Every structure is written in structure tokens, then in C-alpha cells.
Amino acid sequence: MAKNQAVSLTEGNIRKLIFSFSWPIFVSMIFSELYNITNSMIVGNYVSLKALSAVSACTWICNVFNYTFYGLGMGAGILVAGYFGAKDHDNLKKSLDTSLVFAVVGGTILTVVSELALPLLLKIINVGPDIYADAFSYMRVYILGSVAVLTSQMCFFILRSFGDTRHQLYYSIISSIINIVLGLLFVRALNLNVIGTALATIISQFATDVLALRLMLNYDGVDFDIRNIDFSFRVVGEICELGIPAGIQNMLIAFSSMLVQSYVNQFPNEVIAGIGVGEKTVSWCQLVSVAVSGATMSLVAQNMGAGRNDRAKEAIKESAIISSIGTIIMIMIIDTLAPFLVSRFNDDPDVMFYGTSMIRWAICGMFFINLSHIYNGACRGAGNVKVPMFIAILGQVICKYLFVFIGLKLFYDVHVLYLATAFGYIMAGSMATIYFYTSRWSKKNGLR
């Protein structure tokens, strides 16, 4: 079989590269979001409102895992992109081998620890007794897929570091189709309820891993041999140094949201379901900025690895413009379609009311989080991973939680929960922009 060719991002028109790099990520993320909301849609339409509330209540526990894996995958991708841009083939192989071993071993350890900690996690988010059994069953099965999720994140970020985003799109489509088909089969035909949706997620994720690994190991410069693995604890340290700050950041954001969820879970099931659906839906407004930030990070990493900081600077400017325009368009679309989108989960009038309200209020902060994605992505691509972590934690963790904690003591009203999301986004985006355009670091590296 012929070897696949990696794409250098150190040459060519930057705007065209951003578009060609970003659009497959954008479309694949649409399918990933469909993948993520499939479980809620299936249980909301074919099981019960109680089951939908249970899955919604577990959303942020799931995100703790997903965000941690995202950070570690990002660390591996930054490392590989730098070695690829510098044409350092020896360290490139070492980083690839180490990343794959780390994904399997780390995912296995996390599965065991998480299964033991599950009762504590459900207690933290204050899951009510009427939905506890469904929430526990769903999460117990979901956690079994930790190895698959971490491996897929590693593979996707490594493929991006090679300039390949189209295969992520193909595999996301395949995974989404498998998840939907199996979810409907397990729930409607086999009556497995919430367990069926979690099981469908695991199987579809493992299918993605098989496809991604098969492709990645067929690239030029990738010489993986299970009998001759070049594993390095030094590389593990570098992956963690680059990825753990982002992982900690996202994990704390998710953990903070778990604490916020504990307040949400004090409200009736209709409110829990509505806010859960609203959060899933409003997150679509971030698809453009997350996709473009992936291009930004890879462009900056490759070009700085090649010593072309001027080109990295241009890439950041172009990314900010493209992402901002795309985000505004997404905001308009989601705002217009909010009632229809919520009704796809559950057509209960109360669920639709609370879900639509959540979207309309939270959407106010989406332009700001767009800026956070771009400038934090630029910093990470350049190896500056700690400052974006602190900015995100301050904005999306501390500010958001304090807003809810103080707000509900002053006004015990569901609108406090709506506004908290927007407030966290506004704070995080504002601080990221101010840091990038005023810091000595960005000026020293010629990025502004």
C-alpha cells in the first residue's frame, strides 16, 4: 500500500491553508456534536423524561473525561507538529510511538480509577434519587470507553499535525452513523434504555480508533513496529507538559460545571433537561472557532518549528478574522432555530421553554469565547500552554462558579444559571485577547 503524504503548513497561501485545514474539522465537529447529542435525543424521545434528565445530569462528568483526553491529545499533536516542521525524524518516531502507548496504558488506568470514583462523582453533582439509578448505569458503561476516547484524541491531533483533517471528517461521519444505528437498535429493539446508548457510544468509538490507527501508521515518516517501540518517558513528560495544562484547564472547567450542575439538579426535572439540552445546543456556536483554532495551533507550531515566526503571526491574524465572521453566522443560525432544535430532544413545553431560554441567554458570550479559542490556540502552538490555562480557569471556572454561588443566594432564579455561562465566556475571551495583545511574550516572539 502506498504511503500517505503529510502536508507542510510552512508554505503556501495562509488563508487557503486555514480554510482547507479548518472546514473538515468544522464538519467533523458537527458530526461529533450529533454524536454527543444522540444519546440525549434517543432517551428523550424513546425512553422517558426521567432518563433524559439522568443523561443530562451526567453531561459534565462525561466532559471531565473528554476534556482531559483532549488536552493530552493536543500535547501530542503540538509535539509532533514541531518535530515534523523541523524535519526531526528520530524524535518524530519517538513521539508517535510514545503517544500511542501512553493512550492505551493511561486510558486503562483511568478506567479503573473512574469506576471506583463514580459514586463520589455522582454525589458531587447532587444527582437526585429518582434519576440516580439511570445516571449510575449510564456512566458505568460510558467510562469503559476511556481507552478508545484517549486513543482517538491522540490520533486526530497527530493527523492534524501532519496537515490531514479530512480523514477526521470521514471517521466522525462513520462513527456518528454507527452510534445512531446501534443506539436505536439497543434502545428500541433490545430495550436496554440508557445502557444501550452508552454501549453504542463505546462501540462506535472503538471503530473510529481502528480506522484512525490504520491510516496514521501508513504515513511517510511513521515507522511503527510493535516489536520495536521507541518509548520514551522524556516524551511522556513533554506531552504532559504541553497537554496537561490544557487538560487541567478543561477538566477544571468541566468540574466547575459539575458544581454548577449540582445547583441545576435542585430544580425540577423539566429544568434539568431543558438546561442540559440548551447547553448541548448552544455549544454549536463554538464549532467554527474550535475548528479554526485547530488550524491556528498547527500553523503556529509548524512555522515556529521551522523558524518562520512572521508567517505564524500572519496565520493568527487571518484566523481571528475568519473565526469571528463564522461565529457571528453560527450565533444567528442557532438563535433563529433554537425552539426547533430543543424540540428535537423532547417536545415537552416546559423542556422547550427552559432549553430555548438557556440558548438565548448563553449565546450572548459566544463571540468572546471565539476570541479565547483563537488566541489561546496560538499560544499553545507556540509552546506557551500555562497562561491560556490560567486565563480559562479564571474566566470559565472561578468567575462562572462565583456568579452562580452568589447569584443564587441573592436571586434564586433559573436566569442566574443562564447568565453564568455567558459571563464565564465573556471573561475568558476578554482576558485572552488582552493578554495576547499586551504581553511581552507575544511581542518577543514576533506574534503581534
Q: pLDDT tens digits for 360-375?
A: 898 989 999 999 999 9
Q: Are 176 and 32 in contact (CB under 8 A)?
A: yes
Of 150-159, 244-253, 295-304, 362-371, the least confident: 244-253
Among residues 397, 396, 379, 377, the alpha carbon closest in space to that of 387 is found at 379
pTM higher than 0.85? no
Alpha helices, H only, 185-286: 193-216, 233-264, 269-282
Among residues 440, 126, 407, 116, the alpha carbon closest in space to that of 262 is found at 126
Q: Is the pLDDT of residue 109 over 70?
A: yes
Angle between helices 59-86 and 366-381 (to 10 degrees): 40
pLDDT on residue 371: 93
Among residues 305, 311, 419, 434, the alpha carbon closest in space to that of 376 is found at 434
pLDDT on residue 327: 93
- At 5-29, the pLDDT tens digits run 556 677 788 888 888 888 888 887 7
| CA separation for the pair 217, 209 (Å, rounded) | 12
Please list, in sequence order, all residues whose beta carbon lies within 8 angstroms of the beta carbon of residue 370, skipping any fewer than 6 positions away. Answer: 286, 288, 289, 323, 324, 327, 429
Q: Is the pLDDT of residue 273 over 70?
A: yes
| CA separation for the pair 49, 119 (Å, rounded) | 22
- At 56-106, the pLDDT tens digits run 777 767 777 777 777 778 788 777 777 776 777 777 778 777 888 888 887
Higher-confidence residue: 335 or 221? 335
